[in-house]
């Protein structure tokens, strides 16, 4: 019953951003996206998509993806693309679908799945909402390159990282944020993988998601301390753990919307019966004219 967020995400944000005064999480060409707006959007995605985002960095990954989409939408709006007749029709249809889906879920089906049912499910299935220990990792990677303008030997690749590590260790009084900023800058300059453009950011990861040799060091690093050079099958790394998140359980508020959707899916036959009954009542008490002869 849940609407497809991708279709409506863009339409909702400007209004939401103006309706609250929480701290900004991003500003895209002057358009502010607040923490409250981000929470509202993130809470609306389904559990399967949420699980994918959690593995990729959680809300930060979702926000990064949303910013990319928002840039495209801004570009479309600048050209007046939203004024096209076919786009206007699609927007109207999307808005109508959203109202219908939400009304069925939150009003029509409200007696079938009550708040007490949602709470009871949460209390009886807390193991489903367990969250493993995670660390937020950044890295800088270099490797041997046999030819080309960036050719270097293994020794040279390792020595480059050793120089960077020494430079970052030269200011023991640096704050965590200063260390992260410096590490991210070096990653953008010297790292040799796709994460370089994001400052070497690998997001929050769980045990077993990364190379074993990499993990053996990363999981034992204190927050904010840069590792010595680590060798893996992929090359040489410097590792920085930006944050640690202990194992725990998602709060009821975080998952209640998803639980409600699960319970509604289990009662889908009853939902459809209730919806049909309401539709029949509305048709019986409404003035409706249908001209079949005009249908082509």
Residue-level length of the chain: 296
> How many Cα atoms within 13 Å fall on the side-chain side of residue 104?
23
Q: What's the Cα-to-Cα distance from 53 to each of 6, 20, 211, rounded to whole Å?
A: 14, 25, 20
Residue 257 structure tokens = 């919307």
Q: Out of 10-14, 52-56, 162-166, which region has the weakest mean confidence (pLDDT)? A: 10-14
Mean pLDDT, residues 135-160: 91
Q: How sure is the predictor about 40, in pLDDT bands with cuts at 50, 70 and 90? A: confident
Quick check: 24 pLDDT over 80?
yes
Q: How sure is the predictor about 16, in pLDDT bands with cuts at 50, 70 and 90? A: very low
Q: How sure is the predictor about 61, in pLDDT bands with cuts at 50, 70 and 90? A: confident
Mean pLDDT, residues 164-169: 94
Instruction: Tell me what pLDDT residue 269 has.
Output: 95
167 contacts 178 by C-beta, under 8 angstroms: no
Quick check: 242 pLDDT over 50?
yes
Q: Which domains are delineated in the chain?
A: 1-108 (no CATH), 113-131+250-296 (no CATH), 133-246 (3.10.50.40)
Q: Which residues of 33-50 are buried (b: 16+ CB within 10 A; e: fewer)?
A: bbebbbbebbebbeeeeb
Mean pLDDT, residues 150-177: 92
Mean pLDDT, residues 137-159: 90
Helix (H, G, I), strand (E, B) or coil at 6: helix
Q: Which one-letter DSSP state was computed for residue 48? A: H
Instruction: Tell me what pLDDT residue 18 has.
Output: 37
Instruction: Tell me what pLDDT residue 77 has.
Output: 95
Find all residues with CB under 8 Å of 171, minimum gap 6, and list them: 178
Q: Which one-letter DSSP state was computed for residue 239? A: E
CA–CA separation, 6 and 94 (whole Å): 11
200 contacts 140 by C-beta, under 8 angstroms: yes
More confident residue, 193 or 15: 193
Q: How sure is the predictor about 19, in pLDDT bands with cuts at 50, 70 and 90? A: very low
Torsion sign, CA atoms 160, 161, 166, 168: positive
Quick check: 181 pLDDT over 80?
yes
Can you give the three-state secondary structure of 103-142, one letter per residue? HHHHHHCCCCCCHHHHHHHHHHCHHHHEECCEEEEEEEEE
Quick check: 164 pLDDT over 50?
yes
Share of the chain above pLDDT 90, in %: 65
Residue 174 structure tokens = 């640096």
Quick check: 54 pLDDT over 90?
no
Instruction: Tell me what pLDDT residue 163 has.
Output: 95
Q: What's the Cα-to-Cα distance from 100 to each of 15, 78, 94, rounded to whole Å?
A: 20, 30, 10
Between CA 229 and CA 238, with CA 233 as vertex, the angle to 5 degrees is 20
Q: Out of 49-58, 138-147, 192-201, 256-265, which region has the weakest mean confidence (pLDDT)? A: 49-58
**Among all chains, which residue has been given the structure tokens 């909702």?**
12
Instruction: Tell me what pLDDT residue 116 has.
Output: 93
The per-residue pLDDT for range 79-107, each reduced to its tens digit, is 999 999 999 999 999 999 999 988 998 89
CA–CA separation, 131 and 255 (whole Å): 12
């Amino acid at each position: 019953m849940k609407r497809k967020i991708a279709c409506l995400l863009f339409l909702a944000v400007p209004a939401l951003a103006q309706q609250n005064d929480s701290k900004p999480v991003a500003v895209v060409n002057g358009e502010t996206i607040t923490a409250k707006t981000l929470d509202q959007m993130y809470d609306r995605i389904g559990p399967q998509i949420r699980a994918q985002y959690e593995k990729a960095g959680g809300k930060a990954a979702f926000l990064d993806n949303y910013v990319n989409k928002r840039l495209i939408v801004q570009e479309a709006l600048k050209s007046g693309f939203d004024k096209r007749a076919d786009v206007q029709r699609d927007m109207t249809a999307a808005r109508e679908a959203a109202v219908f889906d939400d009304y069925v879920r939150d009003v029509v089906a409200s007696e079938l799945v009550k708040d007490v049912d949602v709470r009871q499910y949460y209390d009886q299935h807390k193991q489903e909402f367990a969250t493993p220990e995670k660390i937020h990792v950044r890295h800088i990677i270099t490797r041997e390159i046999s030819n080309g303008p960036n050719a270097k030997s293994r020794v040279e690749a390792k020595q480059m990282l050793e120089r960077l590590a020494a430079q970052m260790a030269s200011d023991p009084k640096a704050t965590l944020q200063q260390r992260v900023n410096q590490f991210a800058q070096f990653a953008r300059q010297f790292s040799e993988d796709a994460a370089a453009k994001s400052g070497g950011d690998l997001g929050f990861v769980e045990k077993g998601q990364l190379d074993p040799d990499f993990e053996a060091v990363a999981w034992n690093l204190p927050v904010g301390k840069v590792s010595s050079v680590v060798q893996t099958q992929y090359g040489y790394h410097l590792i920085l753990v930006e944050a640690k998140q202990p194992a725990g359980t998602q709060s009821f508020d975080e998952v209640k919307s998803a639980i409600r959707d699960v319970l509604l899916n289990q009662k889908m036959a009853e939902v459809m019966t209730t919806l049909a009954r309401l539709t029949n009542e509305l048709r019986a008490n409404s003035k409706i004219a249908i001209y079949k002869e005009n249908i082509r």
